[in-house]
Structure 1
Amino acid sequence: MSDLPTPLNRRSFLTRTTGAAGAGLVLGAPSILSANNADKRDAIHIALVGFGKQGEVLFNCLKNIPGLHFQAVCDISNYSRKKGMGQVRAVQGELPKGYEDIDEMLATEKGLDAAVIATPDFWHSPHTVKCLEAGLHVYCEKMMSNTIEGARAMVVAAEKSGKLCQIGHQRRSNPRYRYTYEQLINGKKICGQIVNANAQWNRSLGASQDIGGKKLAKSIIVPDETLNRYGFKDMHEYLNWRLYRDLSGGPISDLGAHQIDIFNWFLGVQPTSVFASGGNDYFTEREHFDNVMAIFDYDTPQGGVRAFYQVLTTTSSGGGFWESFMGTEATIKTSEIASTSAIYREDGAPSWDGLVDKGYLKRKPAPPKPAPSADAVAAYESAAPEEYDLPGGFNKPAHQPHLENFFAAVRGEASLNCDARHAFESEAPIFYVNPSALQKERIEFTKEQLSV
């Protein structure tokens, strides 16, 4: 928890430097923000920068958090900007100011405390740096940038300004993930020695199609002059910026970054190398690979770990998205979806009866053991593992706990769960996956490559 003196009024703690790194909110504790007075004088005044699909997802979480006042909406699209302004008015009963240009917004709006940034990846760094330099705390979606240089600039700006900068790796505030990391992997060391990690995100062909078509509603179209001013060649680039190499990192950044972050977080170290393979196996004309597979090597205090990751954008088979950590005594499978999460105790590992009795775990019936085939070698068969549930439900939108943690930190009542420096250290290896796949070469990391 924060070491700031109490009591603090809104202005005194918002203008002071607050620590950016730390353990954050305690699992199971009620939201600190739920007790805040929603009076506008005590509210945190926010600018929403980018109100496309992801911006709307974040706003649908933000509107559940008391004590926030949405003062401005900034988006280059008249359609998105007006949509955001309308949704804000429906929540707080008054229309926020609307802006196309972030520089105009920062020069005009007085009394802003924080910005929530959900613009395309190649704008994350410029927008974040501008807001930090203007004295605002920033919550910015991941990836930090489409380039590692842009990500570094965000860390430098955050630490120079003394303002908080949370990056949207929302699993870092998810109660299930925090419990798994803090109580089971680190606390009880339930896996024994972790020797392997795996993760995947498989997205169906239908969900991977280009956005938009030949007939776009006139209200959605952004004028060419505006598009060009903000780095887009045309409406296709604007609607499908994730497909272009100079605007994003493609599927490995868009989807894989969430899960590779879990590798780095749970293992507690950065990888020493990456070897990746990718291909345009269906979307042959796209700049980015539609399928990527990567192997990261880690040297942990317990020993070497190899982590395999795949992102497939042409099929949803294989159980969607999840991460697993395989140890000598157990395997933990985590996901934002409760039904996909489980823990498996290896036969012969120490009993978990005590953990079940104390509520750490909930035993599930063991899966039936398949009948051996005629040519099976019985000596090589392993006993079916016992399966356990992770305790506790999770009934909030996926991004909400991470946003709650950010605003609790702004109020001086918590530390960030994913500040800019820690996010950079976790994201840095991801920037080398596409180059490894393109070059068809293993990349051995140097300290300089992975540090600010």
Structure 2
Amino acid sequence: MNTTTFNRRDFIKAAGATAAFLPTFSVLSQEYKAETIGPAQDQVNVGVIGYGAEGQILVDAAIKIPGVRIKAVCDIWPYHRQKARGLGRLGHDVTSKTVYEDYREMLEKEDKNIDAVIIATPDWMHAEHTNYCLKAGKHVYCEKEMSNSLEKAASMVKAQRETGKILQIGHQRRSNPRYMHAINRVIRESNMLGRVTHAYGQWNRSVAPFIKDHPRLDIPIETLQKYGYENMEQFRNWRWFAKYGGGPMVDLGSHQIDLFFWVWDCVPISVTAIGGNDYYNRQMNDNVMAMYEFKTKEGKINRAYYQVLTTSSRGGFYEQFMGEDGSLTIAEIAARGNTVQREVRAGGPEESQWVEFAKQGLVVQPKKAVSREVTSNVAVDARVTAAADGWPLPVDLLKPAHMPHLENFFDAVRSNNPKLLNCPADLAYESAVAVLAANTSVAERKTIYFKPEEFHV
């Protein structure tokens, strides 16, 4: 796995940004304030392909970055194009004349006005849109998953290499300062958790019916068919159809399974997954439970368990990394997970050692221990050790979740340096291999064993 340069760069950036931390709760990233936006040098002019829910989230984050201007938007749905015209009221250069149905027309007419393109279309179109933009001389920020096809994902890696343009894949946790602090400083630099032997991740959602809109908003059937959809149901719920997406495992799991690669700095050797279409009458699995095995560079075997449910939101979404000396619970929303817990055992780390970690700004020392009462009607098994209090991470993100990753992308664009990227295409391809294999394991009801060369293009 060729990620040495990437990991060292991540560590340097995270360590430098947090070196001045005091052992009190602090904030790494400054909160975005609207009044700070103004003229900036090195302006980057941006086109957008796909202005649905995710596209709007990305644009909302991008327009908060000084020097970024939205010049044109493309979407096949008139309803989304109408929304895009509203960007002009926010001071951007989007008008009725710079909103398009066809991305080729946008790139042809706006060629001199666009430096980079944000792509937030259904997975099956990522490769076509990305490769076309790269070959047209544009830098690209493409949402994850790269594709629902490994062949298409590989073509994106090749197109980036051939053109030399910047290609960032939207695994935004890779640029989140709290994740960078936790993984690079807490887990790696300080070795607070000891050897991390296991990991766990989940993304659980409640029951939800197919999305349906008022018929007056429907795209004409001839337009849908022109772009590869049979009807509005497929267009609006593309993640559930094999032609267009990979189901919840790919859509949601790709974010978190990518973290296993980051923490252990290696690729898995196998995945065993079970699941099925047990609740809905849909093409893609509505629940998947997957076990990955990793072999580290030191020859150790580590295991990670991941589940995605669409029938219960119990526990929501978060990740845990469990080591011999401590465990980390973390989530993109800090309220769901933001603590490191010391392992209380014979020969384990002393609390005084963790106090020193707190003084170094790695964690925040709990202000007060949790009180525990001993009552006469409770018998405690002597083999059970009471859990230690959680030590919060001293880093939070007071910006839109995607904003740091977009900032990283635009920094790379301005310097024309792909090495600055936190999630270049070849790195994202590795997790695409693993995530798509989980669906294969479910379908074929067998363990999938990986060869190292499968993770490289």
TM over 0.5: yes
Output the amino acid matched with 1:85.
R
Q: Which position in structure 2 is the counterpart of 1:7?
A: none
SS state at 2:200 partner: strand
Q: How does 1:97-176 map to 2 (within 5 A)?
A: 97-111=98-112, 112-176=114-178
Instruction: Kindly indicate whether the alpha-carbon contact (under 8 Å) linking 2:70 and 2:93 is maintained by their aligned counterparts in 1.
Output: no
Q: Show CA shifts across 1:374-421 (max 9, x none).
A: 896723212322310000221111101100110011111871110111
Find the counterpart in structure 2 of residue 335 from structure 1: 331
Q: Which segment drifts farther, 250-259 or 439-448?
A: 439-448
Q: Distance in 2 between matches of 1:126 and 1:94?
A: 24
**Is 1:399 paired with 2:402?**
yes
Q: Distance in 2 between matches of 1:145 and 1:430?
A: 11
Q: Answer whether contact 1:366 1:384 (CA < 8 A) is retained.
A: no
Matches within 5 A, 1:227-376: 227-283=224-280, 285-302=281-298, 303-317=300-314, 319-339=315-335, 340-347=337-344, 348-350=348-350, 351-364=353-366, 365-367=368-370
Q: Given that residues 22 and 416 in structure 1 are in contact (C-alpha distance below 8 angstroms), is that contact kept between their aligned partners in structure 2?
A: no
Q: Which letter does structure 2 place at the counterpart of 1:268?
A: D
Deviations 1:210-231 (A, max 9, x none): 1115xx151x211111111111
**Which of 23, 28, 34 is 2:9 aligned to?**
23
1:50 aligned partner: 50
Aligned equivalents of 1:168, 1:397: Cα separation in 2: 14
Alpha-carbon shift at residue 281 of structure 1 (Å): 2.5
> How far apart, CA to CA, are the structure 2 residues paired with 1:245 and 1:405?
32
Q: Does 1:445 align with 2:441?
A: no
Q: Secondary structure at the match of 2:66?
A: coil
State the alpha-carbon separation in 1 of the partners of residues 119 and 394 from structure 2.
33
Q: Which moved more, 1:77-86 or 1:185-194?
A: 77-86
Change (3 A) 1:418 1:93: closer
In 2, Cα distance between the equivalents of 1:444 and 1:373?
53
Aligned-residue identity in percent: 41
Structure 1 range deviating more: 373-382 or 121-130 = 373-382
- For 2:393 and 2:6, the matched residues in 1 are separated by 29
Question: C-alpha distance in 1, partners of 2:255/2:270?
Answer: 19
- Are positions 1:191 and 2:193 aligned together? yes
Distance (whole Å) between structure 2 residues aligned to residue 301 and residue 93 of structure 1: 50
Report how far residue 88 of structure 1 moved.
4.0
SS for the counterpart of 2:385 is: coil
Q: Deviations over 1:54-79 (max 9, x none)?
A: 00111110110111121111111111
For residues 334 and 153 of structure 2, the distance between their equivalents in structure 1, rounded to whole angstroms, comes to 32
Give how far 1:20 is off.
9.2
* TM-superposed deviation, 1:363: 1.9
**Alignment partners' CA distance in 2, 1:48 and 1:93:** 12
User: How many angstroms apart in 2 are the aligned matches of 1:117 and 1:291?
Assistant: 27
Deviations 1:5-26 (A, max 9, x none): xxxxxxxxxxxxxx99972683
Deviation of 1:209 after TM superposition, in Å, equals 2.1
- The answer to whether structure 1 residue 409 and structure 2 residue 432 are counterparts is no
Q: TM-score, normalised by structure 2?
A: 0.87
Label 1:300 to 1:78 Cα distance change in 2 as closer, same or farther (>3 A). Answer: same
Deviates more, 1:20-29 or 1:256-265: 20-29
Q: TM (normalized to structure 1)?
A: 0.88
Distance 1:130 1:106 in 2: 9
Amino acid at match of 1:106: L
Does the 8 Å contact 1:369/1:384 carry over to 2?
no
Given residue 411 of structure 2, which amino acid in structure 1 is its aligned partner? A
C-alpha deviations, 1:166-205, integer Å up to 9, x for none? 0000000000000011111110011101111000001111
8 Å CA contact retained: 2:88, 2:94: yes
Structure 1: which 5+ runs fail to align? 1-18
> Counterpart in 1 of 2:24?
none
Contact 2:100–2:106 under 8 Å retained in 1: yes
Give the CA deviation at 1:99: 1.2
| Residue type of the alignment partner of 1:437 | V
> How many residues were matched structurally?
425
Structure 1: distance between partners of 2:395 and 2:430? 30
| Residues 1:344 and 1:169: Cα distance change in structure 2 (over 3 Å) | same
Call closer, same or farther: CA 1:140–1:20 in 2, change over 3 Å.
farther
Pair 437,142 (structure 1): closer, same or farther in 2 beyond 3 Å: same
CA distance in 1, matches of 2:386, 2:7: 43
- Asked whether the equivalents of residues 21 and 419 of structure 1 are also in contact (C-alpha less than 8 Å), the reply is no
Q: Is the 8 A contact 1:200 1:311 kept in 2?
A: yes
Q: C-alpha distance in 2, partners of 1:255/1:42? A: 34
Tell me if the contact between 1:37 and 1:43 (Cα under 8 Å) persists in the aligned partners: no
Q: Distance in 2 between matches of 1:239 and 1:418?
A: 28
- Partner in structure 1 of residue 20 of structure 2: none
Provide closer, same or farther for how the CA distance between residues 67 and 368 of structure 1 changes in structure 2, counting only shifts above 3 A.
same
Q: Which structure is higher in helix share?
A: 2
What is aligned with 1:433?
438
Write the deviation string for residues 349-386 of structure 1: whole angstroms up to 9, x where unpaired. Answer: 14211111222211224445586998967232123223
Q: Is the 8 A contact 1:20 1:164 kept in 2?
A: no
1:439–1:371 distance in 2 versus 1, CA, 3 Å: farther
Asked whether the equivalents of residues 85 and 94 of structure 2 are also in contact (C-alpha less than 8 Å), the reply is no
Residue 195 of structure 1 aligns to which amino acid in structure 2?
T
Question: Which AA in structure 2 matches 1:107?
Answer: E
